Amino acid sequence: MRVAPPTAPAESAAQPEHHGDWIRADPSLSWIRRLGPLLRRQRARIVIAVIAAIVATGAGAVAPRVAGYAVDAAVPGPDGATSGSLWALVIVLVGLGLARGVSTFVYRNGLFSMGHRVEFQLRTLLFAHLSRLSFAFYDRVHTGEIISRSNSDIRSVQMYLAFAPIVSSQLLSFVVAISLMAWISLPLTAITMLIMPAVYVLGQRLRHIMFPLSWIIQSRNAEVATVTHESVNGVRVVKAFAAEPRQVEEMARATQRLRWANMLQHNSRAHYTPVIENLPRMAQAMLLLVGGHLIIGGSLSIGDLMSFYLYILLLQAPFRFIGMLFIFGQRAKASAERVFQLLDEPVLVADRPGAVDLPERQGPTRGSAGMEVRFEDVRFAYGTETIGGVAGTASADRDAPLVFDGLDLRIGAGERVAIVGRTGCGKSTLARLLMRFYSLGDGTISIDGRDVNDLTGDSLRRAIGLVPDEPFLFSASIHDNIAYARPDAERTDVIAAATAAQAHGFISELEEGYDTVVGERGYDLSGGQRQRIAIARAILADPAVLILDDATSSIDVAHEARIHDALAELLEERTTIVIAHRLSTISLADRVILLDGGRVAADGTHTELLATEPRYVEVLASGGDAPVNTNGLDSLTVAGDSTPRSSSSW
């Protein structure tokens, strides 16, 4: 299994159609090998960068030797004559400097371009995969953890991919420099190489320390991101309970854990990096001592010693960067494995091979007429996910309590049904299963006689409109929020939907009207206003099946009545499922279903259940919670009935 990203701007022509062109799915492979298909897409830039790096390395490695010849050419011998043309050597040095400068620009620009493109593709790939994961994944994973892995972890991988080849080119120059040094003088080269075993041992120890620390640091960053995200999004709850000091303390604990991990990492770097970087200076001192004696003995020229000295300076760069390479490498490895953990997360709710689109049934409006919905022997518990409709996963919790235990329910095409029951009986779960937000292990859910598992998720959800009890608005204009289901909708269609939802009035009073940009999650609007915009969004989508999950709970009675009047005409042809917690909401339905014990406990009209089903009376009296005193409830009815209401029971 490999994951393919969606088409993205500026890269769409290069997007593959097959999953195998992106990330290898085998977790046993190294993280670099898993990125192999993605890196191959950048092979042109990588090849050009490698060639330019070789040119830069060669120019940098030859320059000290040419400088040595220049010194010998400038210093007269015992007979007062020079050994060569100084001007020619100076011109060569200038040429080498220009070649090194141009090639360095080419390979650094190419590598950073490659790194950022891989970052873009990896980020897009991860986001596409996250969009396919089921609600079960988001039920158990903190948002801050996802944000951390999507941002800082991917950035760590990008930085390593850009810097590692640069550091590797330094190591190549090290090899070339050692070879030229051996050509000049084997004894001096042997002295220089004495430090190599110590550098290798220290580098290995640093690498083994840095990997677990890098993993811990990234996890601590995720904790900080989680606390920040929850505190910002829940700021109203925090302030309502005067819990600011508690949140600050929680953030302090999270940042303290991050500080501890960072300090431990920096202490390790402080112990090892200076030693690794300064070992060449010891070789430098020995070089001057032994080289001076060789010059006095006549077996080495001043230019040769100068070349050696410059090569020692050249070798310091790889030693300086080797510690950074170890640190970046271990951090990138830890970050890549954290990203792959998300990419390896199975898509539990996916279209089966051969899944077909749900055909639209043309109704009197732009959209579809109602469709039949059927639940047959449905059993479901949260935590017992399945993959592609095949029961059983390694992570499934088979001891989880059943929400549905043999649920059988039929809702006819065009029928309006209210679903009622105590809190936790599965009213909202019924809607989530119908829309395939969760996978179903046992039983069958069908729409218009077609198993929802045999349908494409997109066509299924286009046919079903959902208005949740806690509507979510994007930080965009009101027009864009209403038109989210139909981005190409005309303003007149948006206004018509808002008018039906009783939202046009307050929208028109805003300074910028439909172009008003709402704040994050729409919190600068009241709860009732947000719900009306969500209802308008569902109305504009014009679905064949409409689910109202306590959609008017925050709307005042006057507006609710007008919304019900507007919805009555709109719901005439379409199937409507009303998840009711308020008695007034049941007035939209022709039939009432009472859920209890994971099954349908009662089925009938409101009046019939009120007269024959005590559990229904208890649910209405308690608003969906535990049973309370029901005295006087027997006089309750809904709009359209002749029985008077008891005002104390509303």
- Say what angle helices 86-132 and 43-74 make with each other, to 10 degrees: 160
- Residue 512, classified by CB atoms within 10 Å of its CB into exposed (0-12), middle (13-18) or buried (19+), is exposed
CB atoms within 10 A of CB 587: 20
Backbone torsions φ then ψ of 575, nearest 5 degrees: -75, 130
Residue 387 confidence (pLDDT) above 50: no
* Confidence band of 566 (pLDDT split at 50, 70, 90): low
Among the listed ranges 43-52, 73-82, 301-310, which one has the minimum average pLDDT value?
A: 73-82
Instruction: Calculate the alpha carbon distances from 201 to 204, 206, 209, 293, 646 in Å.
Output: 5, 9, 13, 32, 85
Among the listed ranges 3-12, 211-220, 429-438, 524-533, which one has the minimum average pLDDT value?
A: 3-12
Strand partners, 546: 465, 576
Which DSSP string do the residues of 524-571 spell out, in sequence order? TS-HHHHHHHHHHHHHHH--SEEEEESTTTTS-HHHHHHHHHHHHHHT
The pLDDT value recorded for residue 373 is 92
Residue 441, both tokens = 């292990």
Q: Which residue has the higher pLDDT, 614 or 647?
A: 614
The pLDDT value recorded for residue 82 is 53
Closest residue by Cα to residue 281 from 305, 307, 306, 313: 313
Strands 591-596 and 416-421: parallel
Q: Which helix (H) or strand (E) holds 375?
A: strand 373-380
> What integer is the mean pLDDT of 96-109?
88
> What integer is the mean pLDDT of 23-37?
84
CB atoms within 10 A of CB 315: 22
C-alpha span between 246 and 224 (Å, rounded): 15
* Confidence band of 590 (pLDDT split at 50, 70, 90): confident
Mark 284-309 as b/e (b = at least 16 C-beta within 10 Å): beebeebbeebeeeeebbebbbbbbb
- Residue 366 C-alpha from the chain's centroid: 36
Map 425-478 to HEC letters.
CCHHHHHHHHCCCCCCCEEEEEECCEEHHHECHHHHHHHEEEECCCCCCCCCEH
- Say whether 26 sits in a helix, a strand or coil: coil
Supply the mean pLDDT for the chain. Answer: 76
C-alpha span between 13 and 194 (Å, rounded): 53
C-alpha span between 72 and 68 (Å, rounded): 6
C-alpha span between 395 and 386 (Å, rounded): 10
Q: Which residue has the higher pLDDT, 42 or 327?
A: 42
C-alpha span between 426 and 406 (Å, rounded): 13
Residue 454 confidence (pLDDT) above 80: yes
* Confidence band of 626 (pLDDT split at 50, 70, 90): very low
pLDDT above 90 coverage of the chain, percent: 4
> What integer is the mean pLDDT of 5-31?
56
Domain ranges of the chain: 12-343, 373-649
The pLDDT value recorded for residue 322 is 66
The pLDDT value recorded for residue 628 is 36
Question: In what order do the strands lie in the sheet containing 575-579?
Answer: 464-467, 545-549, 575-579, 416-421, 591-596, 599-604
- Which amino acid is present at 118? V
Start-to-end Cα distance in the chain: 55
Asked if 373 and 447 touch (Cβ cutoff 8 Å), the reply is: yes
Closest residue by Cα to residue 435 from 579, 563, 582: 579
Domain 373-649 CATH assignment equals 3.10.20.740: no
Backbone torsions φ then ψ of 485, nearest 5 degrees: -75, -25
- Say whether 365 sits in a helix, a strand or coil: coil
Backbone torsions φ then ψ of 454, nearest 5 degrees: -95, 0
The pLDDT value recorded for residue 368 is 47
C-alpha span between 47 and 199 (Å, rounded): 30
Return the C-alpha torsion angle 14, 15, 18, 22, nearest 10: 90
pLDDT tens sequence across 599-609: 899 898 888 88
Closest residue by Cα to residue 75 from 302, 373, 381: 302
Mark 433-471 as b/e (b = at least 16 C-beta within 10 Å): bbbbbbbbbbbebbbbeebbbebebeebbbbbbbbbbeb
Backbone torsions φ then ψ of 34, nearest 5 degrees: -65, -30
pLDDT tens sequence across 389-432: 333 333 445 566 888 888 999 998 888 899 988 888 888 889 88
Q: Which helix (H) or strand (E) holds 405?
A: strand 404-411
**DSSP3 helix / strand / coil % (the chain, rounded to 5):** 60, 10, 30
Residue 375 confidence (pLDDT) above 90: yes
Q: Which residue has the higher pLDDT, 365 or 542?
A: 542
pTM of the model: 0.69
Among the listed ranges 218-227, 419-428, 472-481, 565-574, which one has the minimum average pLDDT value?
A: 565-574
- Which amino acid is present at 273? T
Angle at the Cα of 218 from the Cα atoms of 201 and 229, rounded to 5 degrees: 170
Domain 12-343 CATH assignment equals 1.10.357.10: no
Closest residue by Cα to residue 174 from 213, 200, 135, 145: 200
> What integer is the mean pLDDT of 39-52?
86
Q: Is 522 left (phi over 0), alpha (psi -120 to 50) or beta?
A: left
Locus of tokens 């010059």: 295
Among the listed ranges 159-173, 319-333, 368-382, 506-520, which one has the minimum average pLDDT value?
A: 319-333
Residue 594, both tokens = 């009472």
Map 31-53 to HEC letters.
HHHHCHHHHHCCHHHHHHHHHHH
Mark 487-501 as b/e (b = at least 16 C-beta within 10 Å): eebeeebbbbbbbbb
Residue 139, both tokens = 């039920």
Most confident of 81-85, 273-277, 332-336, 626-630: 332-336
* Confidence band of 16 (pLDDT split at 50, 70, 90): very low
> What integer is the mean pLDDT of 565-579?
76
The pLDDT value recorded for residue 374 is 93
